[in-house]
Chains A and B, each alone.
Chain A
Amino acid sequence: MPIYDSVLDLIGNTPMVDASALSPNPRVRITAKLEGQNPGGSIKDRAGKYMIEEAEKDGSLKPGQVILESSSGNTGIALAMIARMRGYRFKVVLPENVSIERRQLLEVWGAEIIDSPGSEGSNGAMERAKVLAADHPDWWFPFQYGNPANVKAHYEGTGPEIWRDCPEVTHFIAGLGTAGTLMGVGQFLKDQNRAVKVIAIEPPVGEMVDGLKNIDAGFVPPNFVDNDGEHLLDGRMIVRPRESIEWTRRLTEVGIFAGIASGAVMAGAVKLIGEGRVPDGGVVVTVMSDGGWKYLSTGAWTGPIDEVVARAERIIYF
């Protein structure tokens, strides 16, 4: 193996493993792309790197500048790691109800954390970041939800890697957060083979977030709208906290120690296959967006399931 110049060169090119042992139909394969293998620990390293590098190239991010972003954790961690290496100060607006490990990792990389009320969720953190960015035009605000470099990271990285490693793919299933992964990979795979089905998984956050005062505080990421997500996607499913935890646990049967959002994605894949909606011979590619390390404090693997589910309903894990 080569000696890499920088940890940032280790972003992407993540391995895919067969997880067919979890498939309810022996004639349908499941593969899992392990994004927790990225150096910052999640798929968000890809978007973080692309957004920073594109902004350095076009001059919107200058040496020594302050970077501000809102995040439920993973994008913040990725940006914090890269910012530390490149000499930028990094501020992140973070909902109070993320797992303690997400907060600790941001601190590891020297991020300055600006708390936002947990009851407002990610939408509230983003609104606060927008106000701060408007007040500080000298800061660079990547705005991951509407930054084309986020989608591009997946169109040029994650998508081609999946096609290279698994051209038999018939279904692609990933979590919907900023829409970056789904739009970028979804478009790339459909450009190679129109028949590939792209399915989004999301948690029922709106049932849990009580700080949303008005429906107009709802938010559809510009990444989703600009890439015509409504037509690009073939389906969109909710996976509830209980199934997410159950499948986060089941993933360990195939040696995958992944975060709760990955459990949700696997639960969605298994449901789709179990309902006979993937024909025999199908190959379902799933994205395991991060590793399990950041969720140990939730007791996700070992605690009594009812308690863990109740805890999961109070934290943001997407």
Chain B
Amino acid sequence: MSVTVRLPTIMRSHAGGQSEVKAEGATIGEVVNDLVRQFPGTATHLKAPDGGVHKFVNVYLNDEDVRYLQKLDTPVKEGDQVSILPAVAGG
């Protein structure tokens, strides 16, 4: 499955300045692993020491936070859009 991954500004320098890249996988976890394989510099921004996603990073599948879907096991479909965003407050 090939999906589009939208990167936040903070990660773009690790992906040749691109704001969107392609990644492969059947689940969000596989997509994240493929992203890190292609662009190893993104690992420090994405991965927590326990192998999960960093607590200050939110991963969205078609604009829905995967923490409220099936987390890293959330299945993806061909053409889906994954967005990675750092946690930012408002108010």
- Chain A positions near chain B (C-beta within 8 angstroms): 44, 71-72, 74-75, 121-123, 126, 144-145, 175-178, 180, 202, 204-210, 212-221, 230, 233-240, 261, 316, 318
Contact = CB atoms under 8 A, between A and B. Distances in A.
A121 B90 CA distance: 9
A221 B55 CA distance: 12
Given A207-B83, A234-B68, A238-B85, A178 B56 contact: no
Chain B binding surface SS class: mixed
A72 B88 CA distance: 12
Nearest to A119: B9
18 contacts: A71-B91, A123-B89, A177-B90, A177-B91, A178-B91, A204-B83, A206-B8, A206-B58, A207-B8, A207-B19, A215-B54, A215-B56, A216-B56, A218-B54, A219-B89, A233-B68, A236-B58, A238-B63
B50 to A, nearest CB: 15
A142 to B, nearest CB: 11
A215 B57 contact: yes
A126 B89 contact: yes
A199 to B, nearest CB: 9
Interface in B39-91: 44-46, 54-58, 60, 63-65, 67-68, 83, 85-91
B44 to A, nearest CB: 7
Contact of A205 (B6, B54, B90): B90
Given A215-B54, A218-B87, A221-B89, 18 more contacts: A72-B90, A145-B89, A177-B91, A204-B83, A206-B87, A207-B8, A209-B88, A212-B8, A213-B10, A214-B10, A215-B46, A218-B54, A219-B88, A220-B56, A233-B68, A234-B68, A236-B67, A236-B68
Given A177-B89, A207-B9, A209-B9, A235 B83 contact: no
B91 A210 contact: no
Contact of A230 (B9, B45, B67, B83): B67
Chain A binding surface SS class: mixed
A218 B67 contact: no
Nearest to B87: A218
A212 B10 contact: yes
B91 A145 contact: yes
Contacts of B46: 215
Contacts, number: 110
A210 B17 CA distance: 13
Given A215-B10, A238-B60, A206 B86 contact: yes
B55 to A, nearest CB: 7
Contacts of A261: 90
A144 B90 CA distance: 10
A44 B65 CA distance: 25
Contacts of A210: 9-10
B7 to A, nearest CB: 8
Contacts of B6: 207
Nearest to A316: B90
Which 4 pairs, one residue from A and one from B, show the smallest C-beta to C-beta distance?
A218-B56, A177-B90, A318-B90, A206-B85
B88 A122 contact: yes
A235 B65 contact: yes
B90 A122 contact: yes
B83 A238 contact: yes
A235 B68 contact: yes
